[in-house]
């Protein structure tokens, strides 16, 4: 009978946690066939199915439940004693990273991140998912590796890292009859606005600041995403308040101009978030270091700290 190795027990623990061959492969940085081979070895060794495929994932058998009670904490102790963490080699890995992002981040962060992958991790892929109320659960169970945004709904057990500070600015079509380089409060309130309120963004901060100043915007349109905003702005006399980095991207077409917002508008910080379960995972460390290097600089922001 084939002897078990530490890697087989890691596979057992990972399938137990994720209830998925696909997610286990992503979590360990291995291929799905490798996970299947390891599971076959485990099944033969223990003479048990160990996991049964159901509509809700790979469910453990009673024998697996007993095994996991015995293994609880053992793997962490072995890794600490042997220094045998799974290594991550970005140049060779074909891992699929999964990041929850606000749509703003897909414009500002995604292109340079993929460009970095192309050079330093050519076989790595990136799956982008919307930042939502479900993102914290996805980070916890390994369905997502990272979240990037303003402040997703997180509880204890999460870490954060400051990336960069963002300011808000006004945009209007080039040739707008009233918008110049800077807007006063009266000019701002006289225009009709696109109100943009995607989750995980600064929308609530702006609304709070406007309410505190007794400012109420005239609504021309409401949108749940920044996608499509540029086309609407470029073809109407509506204006919008958006992050400066996004506004700079919009102006590249020549169809849109920017104007400084009235005094008192808030700034905010874009951050990356991850769960403490993956704090020491080599692939997660690599990803968050890359993001920090690209968007915060080597010394950008304070050290990560748990909630």
Pairing label, strands 256-259, 158-173: antiparallel
Distance CA 173, CA 215 (A): 23
Whole-model pTM: value is 0.67
* pLDDT attached to residue 100: 93
In the chain, the percentage of residues whose pLDDT exceeds 70 is 88
* pLDDT attached to residue 199: 63
pLDDT tens readout for residues 43-77: 999 999 999 988 888 899 999 988 888 776 666 66
pLDDT tens readout for residues 191-202: 999 998 876 566
For domain 88-307, which CATH number applies: 3.30.70.100, 3.30.465.10, 3.40.718.10, 3.40.190.290? 3.40.190.290
Distance CA 250, CA 262 (A): 20
Tokens of 224: 């749940």
Q: For the residues of 96-126, what is the DSSP string, one character each?
A: EEEEEE-HHHHHHTHHHHHHHHHHH-TT-EE
Residue with tokens 């084939």: 2
Over residues 266-279, the mean pLDDT reads 88
Distance CA 141, CA 149 (A): 19
For domain 6-82, which CATH number applies: 1.10.10.10, 1.10.3720.10, 1.10.486.10, 3.50.50.60? 1.10.10.10
Say whether pLDDT at 214 is over 60. Answer: yes
* pLDDT attached to residue 3: 72
Q: What are phi and psi of 223, to 5 degrees?
A: -135, 145
């Amino acid at each position: 009978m084939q002897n078990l190795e530490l890697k087989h027990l890691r596979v057992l623990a990972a399938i137990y946690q994720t209830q998925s061959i696909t997610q286990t492969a992503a979590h360990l940085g291995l291929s799905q066939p490798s996970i299947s081979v390891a599971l076959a070895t485990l099944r033969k060794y223990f003479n048990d199915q160990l996991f049964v495929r159901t509509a809700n994932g790979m469910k453990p058998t009673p024998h697996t439940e007993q095994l996991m009670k015995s293994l609880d904490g053992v793997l962490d102790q072995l890794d600490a004693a042997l220094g045998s963490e799974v290594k991550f080699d970005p140049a060779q890995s074909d891992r699929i990273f999964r990041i929850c992002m606000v749509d703003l981040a897909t414009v500002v962060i995604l292109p340079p991140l993929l460009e970095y992958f192309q050079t330093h991790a050519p076989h790595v892929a990136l799956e982008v998912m919307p930042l939502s109320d479900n993102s914290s659960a996805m980070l916890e169970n390994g369905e997502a590796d990272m979240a990037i945004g303003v402040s997703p709904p997180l509880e204890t057990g999460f870490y954060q890292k400051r990336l960069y500070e963002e300011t808000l600015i006004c945009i209007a079509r080039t040739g707008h009859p009233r918008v110049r380089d800077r807007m006063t409060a009266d000019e701002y309130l006289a225009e009709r606005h696109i109100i943009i309120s995607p989750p995980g963004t600064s929308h609530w901060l702006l609304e709070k600041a406007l309410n505190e100043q007794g400012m109420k915007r005239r609504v021309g349109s409401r949108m749940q995403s920044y996608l499509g905003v540029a086309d609407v702005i470029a073809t109407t006399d509506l204006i919008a308040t958006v992050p400066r980095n996004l506004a700079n991207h919009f102006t590249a077409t020549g169809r849109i101009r920017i104007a400084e917002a009235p005094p008192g508008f808030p700034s905010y910080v874009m951050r990356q978030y991850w769960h403490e379960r993956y704090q020491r995972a080599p692939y997660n460390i690599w990803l968050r270091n890359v993001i920090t290097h690209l968007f915060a600089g080597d010394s950008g922001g304070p050290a990560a700290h748990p909630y």
